Amino acid sequence: MVRETIDVVGARTNNLRDVSVSIPKGLLVAFTGVSGSGKTSLAIDTLHNEAQLRYLEGLSPFVRQYITQRNRPKVDRILGLGATLAVDQRRLNRNPRSTVATITGIDGHLGLLYSRLPGIDADPAAGSGDGHLTTAHFDRATPEGSCGDCHG
Q: How many domains does the chain have?
A: 2
pLDDT reading at 128 higher than 50: no
Reported as a single tens digit per residue, the pLDDT across 32-91 is 999 999 999 999 999 999 999 999 999 899 988 888 888 999 999 999 999 887 876 666
pLDDT reading at 16 higher than 60: yes
pLDDT: which is higher, 97 or 8: 8
Domain around 147: 91-152
Please tell me whether residue 77 adopts helix, strand or coil conformation. strand
> Do 81 and 100 share a domain, yes or no?
no
> Do 112 and 74 share a domain, yes or no?
no
CATH code of the domain in which 126 resides: 1.20.1580.10
Whether this model's pTM surpasses 0.75: no
CATH code of the domain in which 26 resides: 3.40.50.300
pLDDT: which is higher, 5 or 133: 5
148: Cβ contacts below 8 Å, ≥ 6 apart: 126
Query: Cα separation of 128 and 130, whole Å?
Result: 6
